[in-house]
Amino acid sequence: EPEVTQTPSHQVTQMGQEVILRCVPISNHLYFYWYRQILGQKVEFLVSFYNNEISEKSEIFDDQFSVERPDGSNFTLKIRSTKLEDSAMYFCASSAGPIYGYTFGSGTRLTVV
Partner 1 sequence: AQRVTQPEKLLSVFKGAPVELKCNYSYSGSPELFWYVQYSRQRLQLLLRHISRESIKGFTADLNKGETSFHLKKPFAQEEDSAMYYCALKMDSSYKLIFGSGTRLLVRP
Between 14 and 39, whose beta carbon lies closer to partner 1?
A: 39
Between 10 and 17, whose beta carbon lies closer to partner 1?
A: 10
Please, what is the minimum distance in Å from the beta carbon of residue 81 to partner 1?
Answer: 25
Number of CB atoms found within 10 A of residue 49's CB: 22
For residue 35, list its beta bridge partners. Answer: 45, 91
Contact present, 7 and 74 (Cβ < 8 Å): no
CA distance 11 to 3: 21
**Positions in the binding site for partner 1 (CB under 8 A):** 4, 31, 33, 35, 41-45, 48, 50, 55-56, 58, 91, 98-107
Please, what is the minimum distance in Å from the beta carbon of residue 62 to partner 1?
Answer: 16
Between 42 and 84, whose beta carbon lies closer to partner 1?
A: 42
CA distance 113 to 83: 8
Please, what is the minimum distance in Å from the beta carbon of residue 74 to partner 1?
Answer: 18
CA distance 25 to 76: 10
Between 81 and 99, whose beta carbon lies closer to partner 1?
A: 99
